[in-house]
Structure 1
Amino acid sequence: MKDVIYKTALLNSKPERLEMNVESKVTKDKMEEGDYGYLKGYVYKEFHKIFPDKDFVKYWLEYNKLGNFKISDNVETVGGISEEAHYIMRVITEYHILQAFKAMKVDLSDPNVGGDKGTAYRIAKMYCGDGLEDDSELLSGRWAKRPQMATFPNENRQKHPITKRVDIVSVCSHHLAPFSTLFRDGAYAIVSYVPDYNVLGISKLQRIVDWVSRRGHLQENLTKMIYDEVSAAAKTKSVYVKLVGLVHTCESLRGTQSNQGSFTSEYYAGDFEKYEIRREVNG
């Protein structure tokens, strides 16, 4: 009798509703496992060491729903991430770096490599950042929160360039090897803008450069991205960015191993289309 009732219910049900429910369950199950379902138990244990009172499944789902984004972009382009989901990402990254070491036949019993916070942990931290407030690691700009950009009224309506020399620390997107102003005397970066109604806080140019630079880049693209961010923050198109004599370790320490090679790039618009203003900024 029960079998008859069950079959009758199936016959009287709308096929599309049944299909939707089955598909919804399959999708939910797949999402809960995620691309790294084989690590779920391991990540769960590590997660609860740091967040003992947090709902692991909630943040596991958040991580698995997160879209991929370019190595030169920030996670805000795909909607942002919580500290908890960022930690899950780091644990998964560290695990796979450790597997790469095993593939390269690295002796993990070596105390200089192994351990709870061994080399795999340090590399994951270097390329993922220590959290959403960290702006000091090589690729932390992919995950760090956008810096607060304090602005002040341009009370005197000055129209002369405001210029600051800043340092650049970035990573080549082809090799994940650093390039920087810090590797050679005489290398520097200039960021200049002609204010409109607002001026930026004095430290903000370096902060925004750090946030943009600490990702994977080609130097030409980095130059333009710094321009875009300063232009948006200062609300003016009259921005000039020049990166002078940067050493790329993907060239100096490998490949051609050039000791003399360096790279200069610039991008400008607005008032800086005039050569005299660019010359003034360059001294």
Structure 2
Amino acid sequence: MDAIVKSFPSPGTGDTRPTQKEAEEAVRVLLRWAGDDPEREGLLDTPARVAKAYKELFSGYAQAPEDVLGRTFEEVGGYDDIVLVRDIPFFSHCEHHMVPIIGKAHVAYLPDRRVLGLSKIARVVDIFGRRLQTQETMTAQIAQAIDETLRPRGVAVMIEAEHMCMAMRGVQKQGSTTLTTTFTGSFKTEAAEQARFMSMIRGFR
């Protein structure tokens, strides 16, 4: 999983992204290419709306997971068993077609004297979700970010998602779900820990 978590320039620090005006003009070009008229009343404000929406949908490029995960807690009362945050909803976009990926992530780790605030795990899922993604890469990125920051005894990540590039175009198979997993440390080397992780996800629904 080396070199999966990429750094991206923050706005104003060597950022070479197009301007807002250039982004809006690109939307106008796409509207014309699709066969519509960007000058008609219903589309006049669409370029600005799309640029604003993209800024939110892809806000993960401006955030660093290490900043979110930086603070950990050592007062755990001797707890050293699995910590699992299950059913974390997310929205992402396929890097091949730029259409939505809609799913949920299950993230667990085995603490080694330190734990994370539970909301931090959900925020890391959002950071990587709000980028152009493949599900496989996103699964590995979440695991690597937690593994490198917290240094737990192991990390387990499962993502279940529906890809609109399969549902809306191409084979047009609605309702199909893709599952991906990544394991590090004890979750990778000990089958019993993997089984417990899967049981905790599936066993209490």
Query: Given the two structures, how large is their TM-score scaled by the length of structure 1?
Result: 0.61
Q: Residues 278 and 269 of structure 1: is their aligned pair in 2 closer, same or farther, counting only changes over 3 Å?
A: same
1:256 to 2:180 alignment: no
Following superposition of structure 1 onto structure 2, how do residues 221-240 of structure 1 map, counting pairs within 5 Å? 221-236=137-152, 238-240=154-156
Shift of 1:278: 1.8
Shift of 1:82: 2.5
Corresponding residue SS for 2:98: coil
Gaps spanning 5+ residues in structure 2: where?
200-205
Match of 1:275 in 2: 191
For 1:223 and 1:140, the matched residues in 2 are separated by 18
Match of 2:92 in 1: 170
For 2:175 and 2:68, the matched residues in 1 are separated by 38
Corresponding residue SS for 1:112: helix
Match of 1:98 in 2: 28
CA contact 1:227–1:241 (8 Å) conserved in 2: yes
Corresponding residue SS for 1:100: helix
CA contact 1:212–1:226 (8 Å) conserved in 2: yes
Match of 1:113 in 2: 43
Corresponding residue SS for 1:243: strand
Shift of 1:99: 2.6
CA contact 2:9–2:62 (8 Å) conserved in 1: no
CA contact 1:154–1:196 (8 Å) conserved in 2: no
For 1:225 and 1:112, the matched residues in 2 are separated by 40
Q: Residues 157 and 271 of structure 1: is their aligned pair in 2 closer, same or farther, counting only changes over 3 Å?
A: farther
Shift of 1:192: 0.2
Corresponding residue SS for 1:168: strand
* Seq. identity, %: 25
> Structure 1 or 2: larger strand share?
2
Match of 1:205 in 2: 121
Bigger radius of gyration: 1
For 1:180 and 1:227, the matched residues in 2 are separated by 19
Shift of 1:162: 0.4
1:140-168 per-residue CA deviation (whole Å, 9 max, x = no partner) reads 21224555333111443432110001112
Shift of 1:189: 1.9
CA contact 1:238–1:272 (8 Å) conserved in 2: yes
Equivalent of 1:242 in 145, 158, 161? 158
Corresponding residue SS for 2:127: helix
> Structure 1 or 2: larger helix share?
1
Equivalent of 1:189 in 105, 129, 142? 105
Match of 2:202 in 1: none
Could you say what the CA RMSD is over the residues aligned between the two structures, in angstroms? 2.5
- Give the partner amino acid of 1:248: H
Using CA pairs below 8 Å that are at least 6 residues apart, which structure has the higher relative contact order?
Answer: 2
Aligned length: 192
For 2:42 and 2:153, the matched residues in 1 are separated by 50
1:3-40 per-residue CA deviation (whole Å, 9 max, x = no partner) reads xxxxxxxxxxxxxxxxxxxxxxxxxxxxxxxxxxxxxx
Match of 2:68 in 1: 148
Q: Residues 113 and 145 of structure 1: is their aligned pair in 2 closer, same or farther, counting only changes over 3 Å?
A: farther
Gaps spanning 5+ residues in structure 1: where?
1-71, 130-136, 182-187
1:163-212 per-residue CA deviation (whole Å, 9 max, x = no partner) reads 0011121110000011112xxxxxx3210011113110121100011011
1:44-90 per-residue CA deviation (whole Å, 9 max, x = no partner) reads xxxxxxxxxxxxxxxxxxxxxxxxxxxx976xx2543229x689633
For 2:33 and 2:174, the matched residues in 1 are separated by 32
Match of 1:48 in 2: none
Query: Given the two structures, how large is their TM-score scaled by the length of structure 2?
Result: 0.82
